[in-house]
Chain A
Amino acid sequence: MKRAILTLAVLALTAPASAQFDYTPAGDLERPGGGSLRVGAGRADTRVYAPGMRFPIENAPAYANSQIYGHGGYMGPGGGQCNSANYAYPWHDNYCEERSWTMPMCAGGRGHQGQDIRPATCVDQAHWAVAADDGMITNIGSYSVYLTAADGRRYDYLHMRGVVVSVGQRVTRGQRLGRVSDNMGATPTTIHLHYNIRMNVSGYGNVYAPTYMSLVRAYEELVGPPDWNAAYVDQSFPLASRPFELSPGEDAEGYLEMRNTGAQTWRPGEVFLGTTEPRDGDSPLAHPGWINPHRPATIDRVVEPGGTGRFTFSLRAPSTPGDYPQFFNLVREGVAWFSDSGLPPDDQLQVKVTVVPHPDADGDGHHAGVDCDDDDPSVHPGAPEICGDGIDQDCDGADAPCPGQDAAVVLPGTDASIPNIPVDGGASNPDVPGGSLNGDCGCRVSARSSRPLALVTLLLVGLALALRRR
C-alpha cells in the first residue's frame, strides 16, 4: 500500500511533457472558491513586452500559476504546494494578483508584478534557470539574479540558488544561470521562479512590465508546435452562435477552413474532419455524401505547415424539428486526434442546426414539404380531385382524367411536330403551352387529347356526306 502511494505521488509530481500546453488569457487570475476570494483585477494585456525572449527555465514542462491562490498557498484551496494540480496546464497569469505592493500598471494600483513559474517537478534546485536573452549579469543578490539585455530590458530571476554566473559576466541566450529553488534569504518560500521583466514603459517609468504573454510565446517556442495542430480560419456555415435554420430533410453545403499550425503536412485521405463530443459519434446531421456518419470530409488539398485548407461537406437536417449541435475536430486517421497533442480542443468547432417545421402558408393542415401548392387550401394530399382541370388537387403527381377521356390514347401521326389545332373555336391559351380552353366545360385540355375529337368530327362529317349521296 505504501508503495502504491509513493508511486502515485511520483506521478503527481511529474506531469508528462507531452501534455498539451494550454493557458488562460492574460489577466485571467486564479480564483479559488469560485471567485469569492479577493484576488485582484487582472490586466488583460496581450502585448508581448519581450518579443523573442527565451523561456527562462531550461526545460519543459513548466507551469505558470499562483503560489498564493493555488494548492498549498495560504489563500488556496488546500493541499500542498506539490499538489499535482499545481503542476498541470493551463497556465494562469498572476502579474496583477492581489498584493500590497504598488504596481501602476495594474488596475487597482497594486499587484504581484512578476510571474511565478513552477519548474517541471516540485524538487528544490533540480531545474536550471537560463538566460532569456543575450546580455550581462548586472546584479546578484541573496536570492536574485538580474540579466540586462543591450536594449535596456532587464530580466529578474528570483529565488535562485547554485548561481553559476557573476556580476559583469556576459551571457548568451539559453546559458545556465543557476537553479530554481525556494530561496528567499532567511525565509524560504515555495519552489518556483519569480520572473520579472523590468523596462522603461512610456507613461509608467522603469517598472515591472507584464510578463505573461512574453512567457507564453517563449514557452511555445520552447516546446515547439505539436505534430498535429490547427487554427480556425473561416467557415461558410453560420457560426454556432447565430441562427442556422433548415427544414426537415433540407440539405446545406458549406466549408470549414483551417490553418496548419503543426509540424506535419496534411494530405487528403489522411487528415479528416471527424465528429466529437463524443468522438466518432454518428451525427444526426450526416449527409449521404459523407464518408461515413462520423467523417464529413477529408482535407481538400495538401496543406504544408503554415498553409490553409478546407473541409467541404453537406449537412442534412433531421426530420424532427429541434436543435442539433455538432462538434467536429481534425483527426489524422489512425494516428491521433489533433486535440490529443495540440489544438483545437474537441469542443471548439461547432455547427448548430435548428430544424424548423415546414411552413403551411395556406393553412390547409399540410406543410410545404408535402403540399404541392401551399398557396391553395384546396390543394393538399387527400384533397378531392377534379378531373381534367389540369390541377393536381390531391398532390398524387397528376391531374385525374375525366370519364371518357383517355389521355393515354395516342393516335398515329400525332407527335410534337404537329401544330396545335384549336378545337370548338376555343382561343389559344397562352398560359397552357400547346393547349386550349374547351368552351363546354372550361376544362384544360391538352393538345394531344384534342386530336381524337377532330378525327371523330371528320369521320362524322364524312358519314353524313355519304348518307346524303345515297
Chain B
Amino acid sequence: MRRFALFLPLLLIACEPGAPGASEPPPETTEVQQALASPDAFALLDPASQKAVAESPVPVLLFPAEWSADSTVMAGRGFYAVSARRGEHTLSIHATDIVHAPGDGIEAPPREHQVRGKPALVMVNDGIRSVTWEEGRTGYVVEVECYRALEDPRCTEEDFVLELAERLVEVKR
C-alpha cells in the first residue's frame, strides 16, 4: 500500500499529455518531478534493480527519481544498464569500463558539450538522441528514444538529453 502511494504521482506523470495517441508533446519538468529528484531515485527502484545496482562493476548513475518507478536496472560482468519507458519516451543508460582499441587513428573532434563536468558528445542515430562522456575508464551513455522521432523536441533537440544526463543521481555504495 505504501509502495502504491509512492507510485501514485508517477502514474499521474505517466498520463501526461504526449502519451501515445496524444498530439501534444509532454511538458518539461514539473514541480512534482522536481520534488522527487533526489537520492530517493535508488529507494524507489524495485528490489531486482537495487540488487543490480549493487552488482554493477562500475559507478552507477540513475535517472532522477521521477523515472525510478519505470526504471529497470541491470548489470553484467562488464556493464550496467538502465531502461525506463513511459508513454512515447524510452530512456536508457549504458555504461562500461571495458575499453576496446580502434582500427585506426582518425582523431576524434573536440567535444562541444559537458555533462557532470566532463566533455560530452551528443549524437543522433535514426532518431535516437544520446549523449556520451567518460568518468575515469567508464564510458556512460544516456539515450532518449521518441515515438515521434522526427517531431518530438526531446529527440530532435539536444537540450532534453543533456539536461537529463546532468540530473543523473549518483548512487553511493
Q: Which residues of A does B touch, CB under 8 Å?
A: 43, 45-47, 49, 100-107, 109, 113-114, 135-136, 138-144, 146, 148-152, 154, 156, 158-159, 167-168, 184-187, 189, 194, 196, 198-210
CA distance A173 to B133 in the complex (A): 29
Between B85, B92, B133, the greatest number of chain A beta carbons within 10 A of the residue's beta carbon is seen for B92
The residue of chain A having its C-beta at the shortest distance from the C-beta of B84 within the complex is A139
Which residues of A are found within 8 Å of B103, using beta-carbon distances? 45-47, 49, 210
CA distance A107 to B107 in the complex (A): 8
> Interface SS of chain B: helix, strand, loop or mixed?
strand
A152-B78, A185-B146 given; A146·B92 CB < 8 A: yes
B170 at the interface (CB under 8 A from A): no
CA distance A156 to B127 in the complex (A): 13
Contact in complex: A151, B98 (CB < 8 Å): yes
Q: Which of A136, A142, A187, A200 contacts B97 (CB 8 A)?
A: A200
Which residues of B are found within 8 Å of A184, using beta-carbon distances? 126-127, 149
CA distance A186 to B19 in the complex (A): 12
CA distance A106 to B95 in the complex (A): 22
The residue of chain B having its C-beta at the shortest distance from the C-beta of A169 within the complex is B74
Which residues of A are found within 8 Å of B147, using beta-carbon distances? 142, 185-186
Give chain B interface residues in 60-109, CB to chain A under 8 Å: 72, 74, 76-79, 81, 83, 85, 88, 90, 92, 94-109
Which residues of B are found within 8 Å of A167, using beta-carbon distances? 72, 74, 83, 85
CA distance A60 to B123 in the complex (A): 32
CB distance from A136 to the nearest CB of B (A): 6
CA distance A204 to B149 in the complex (A): 26
Which residues of A are found within 8 Å of B150, using beta-carbon distances? 186-187
What are the 10 closest A-B residue pairs judged by CB atoms, nearest first?
A152-B96, A206-B139, A47-B103, A141-B90, A152-B78, A141-B145, A138-B81, A45-B103, A200-B139, A152-B79
Contact in complex: B76, A135 (CB < 8 Å): yes
B42 at the interface (CB under 8 A from A): no
Contact in complex: B123, A208 (CB < 8 Å): yes
CB distance from A282 to the nearest CB of B (A): 46
B151 at the interface (CB under 8 A from A): yes
CB distance from A82 to the nearest CB of B (A): 20
